[in-house]
Chain A
Amino acid sequence: DAGVIQSPRHEVTEMGQEVTLRCKPISGHNSLFWYRQTMMRGLELLIYFNNNVPIDDSGMPEDRFSAKMPNASFSTLKIQPSEPRDSAVYFCASSFNGLTLTSQETQYFGPGTRLLVL
């Protein structure tokens, strides 16, 4: 199993530019999560999809951020326009949601995309 795949692994861009991050979840997983990690705020959930449908986007910072999941094997997180405060590591994670409280819904994380906005 290739695990969760993210691209690009590193991105350096200038303020105001559009940034698109990509994620391929583990085959068979039905839940996908986008996280952002910074030293100050730790690991924060941005948005969560279940069966390709956005379930909780309360963590999306503002309208500059958008996420899509057109099919079970692909998701994008877009920032437009980007700002220096968006610099962080963005992780994608996937899991199989068994819809039971005690099921072990392990989230498997991708390698992350390190974003630097100048």
Chain B
Amino acid sequence: QKEVEQNSGPLSVPEGAIASLNCTYSDRGSQSFFWYRQYSGKSPELIMSIYSNGDKEDGRFTAQLNKASQYVSLLIRDSQPSDSATYLCAVKKGMNYGGSQGNLIFGKGTKLSVKP
């Protein structure tokens, strides 16, 4: 099993719809989870972080975490064409990783396309 898995997409949604991006991870010791957005040809930028089970909302973005199911998701409400990008899920390694504890493991990303 890959350490962090995402559906590569592309995920296509119409403008104004809700985009739902999903991520599963294998390390039960992980405590910190991040969503990065990467526009084509640009570097990743952090948009959300979540540490506790449940939902965390920030503007149009909601991150959801379920540690029991080892699942984290990102919802984008009222999607805009400017949201078209690749979304990378990142999981911080837990204590059982020893020296590499604290490093981020990235999924390969889901490409989102929002159609006007």
A residues near B (Cβ < 8 Å) are 33, 41-45, 48, 55-56, 58, 91, 97, 101-102, 104-112
Contacts and interface: CB of A to CB of B under 8 A. Distances in A.
Contacts, number: 50
28 contacts: A41-B108, A42-B106, A42-B108, A42-B109, A43-B106, A43-B108, A45-B105, A48-B100, A48-B103, A56-B99, A56-B103, A58-B100, A91-B43, A97-B102, A101-B31, A101-B32, A101-B95, A102-B32, A105-B32, A105-B92, A105-B102, A106-B34, A107-B104, A108-B46, A109-B43, A109-B44, A110-B43, A111-B43
Interface of B: 31-32, 34, 42-46, 49, 51, 88, 92, 95, 99-100, 102-109
Residue of B43, B100, B105 with most chain A CB atoms under a 10 A cut-off? B43
A45 B99 contact: no
A58 to B, nearest CB: 6
- Nearest 4 CB-CB pairs, A to B? A42-B108, A109-B43, A56-B100, A43-B106
B116 to A, nearest CB: 27
A43 B102 CA distance: 16
A53 B63 CA distance: 34
Nearest to B106: A43
Contacts of B109: 42-43
B99 to A, nearest CB: 6
Contacts of B95: 101
Given A42-B106, A91-B43, 13 more contacts: A33-B103, A33-B104, A42-B108, A43-B88, A45-B104, A45-B105, A48-B100, A101-B31, A101-B32, A101-B95, A102-B31, A104-B49, A111-B43
